[in-house]
Chains A and B, each alone.
Chain A
């Protein structure tokens, strides 16, 4: 029996797909915000905390990175209510995504902190900066600059992983596709369409993160331009020249 592809019935539900995509994006951005906070705190604690703090953070990171997201989701969604914490599916999904992303972000940001040279700390100490000033200005900003690309691709990966929360009946993109599949019997079309939407979302996210990177890390661009400038020319440019050259150059 030849199967006729027919996207009509599926495309008629375009607004529901849009709702699903919106849910996916909302969950992802909320998880990215929470996950980055957890990751930053985790990386600071893992780099500057006591030995016990370091060990606790290492346990958290390894436990999350070596178990499937689906199982983490089940522990939170089915497990928490049995110890008296009633949460709905969306909250469970958000907690699971944040906890998961937090572990990966901790590891990524920690790597950035480790890459900061010892002399930077000595310079900060020489300037009589307090511990928190050092962490804030000397450690975190350059660390984020360094690991931002890795962090951004982890964010995109989290958006794709969020498809798994359809299993606990969160009405995001994948769940919508399953519902529309069972209503229209256009299985192949539903999932192909949803695949296209995910690819588009991933591309958009990548573009957004790239643009945010350009906006936030201006200093990095300037430093890199100074690095690549040929020896013969003066290394200190006038302000006008500097903005002129940095405009067209991507990091």
Chain B
């Protein structure tokens, strides 16, 4: 039965947006943890660690997120590991975010002047103490604007999890479109909700960037 697109549907879309937010948060938390490890590996002293993490970044950044998602949902289930759409989506988005955040944070760690390493080394600090007390506090300050900027990419890319059947914002837009057949109205509202989620983040990122480079 065909129904008219109404405020009830907007309510449904808003409710579905909670799943978009949930997947984004999960991806960001797990991706952040994994990305931190990748960033440490990229800046490690061991060439093997540097190579492995560089390879990881190249592989993930050279693959569409959609393929990573298909591999973690369809691929793993063939191999005998059946994941629910939510878990598969989180896994794929974590892999995706780990590579990009790892690369962003590597840049920030390496942007800390080498003198800071040498000075803390001269104080007989261990590698971990150097990172923990000297390098990371300075790197985090630089990392904040691009990290918030990347969170916009994460939120937007959760839209493709609709393809494996996770009923988040885009998928419920498709479902409502099937019932109302008013694609223009439905998807414009979907886009507006994404915009409401992403625009504050990108504005915040821009503002932080300006603050960080205020001396320029």
Contacts and interface: CB of A to CB of B under 8 A. Distances in A.
B7 to A, nearest CB: 20
Contacts, number: 122
A165 B109 CA distance: 37
Nearest to B194: A67
Contact of A78 (B59, B74, B162, B183): B183
Interface in B181-195: 182-184, 187-188, 190-191, 194-195
B11 interface: no
Interface in A156-215: 160-164, 166-167, 174, 177-178, 181, 187-188, 191-192, 194-195, 198-199, 202-203
Interface string B86-128: 0000000000000000000000000000000000000000000
Contacts of B53: none
Interface in B4-56: none
B138 interface: no
A132 interface: no
A82 B66 contact: no
A72 B159 CA distance: 11
A199 B184 contact: no
Interface stretch (A58-66, A144-152, A236-244): A58-66
Interface residues of A, number: 39
Interface string A43-80: 00000000000000000001101111111101100110
Nearest to B181: A82
A234 B74 CA distance: 64
Interface string B47-76: 000000000001101111111101100110
Interface of A: 1, 3, 62-63, 65-72, 74-75, 78-79, 82-83, 160-164, 166-167, 174, 177-178, 181, 187-188, 191-192, 194-195, 198-199, 202-203
Interface of B: 58-59, 61-68, 70-71, 74-75, 77-80, 152, 156-160, 162-163, 170, 173-174, 177, 182-184, 187-188, 190-191, 194-195, 198-199, 202
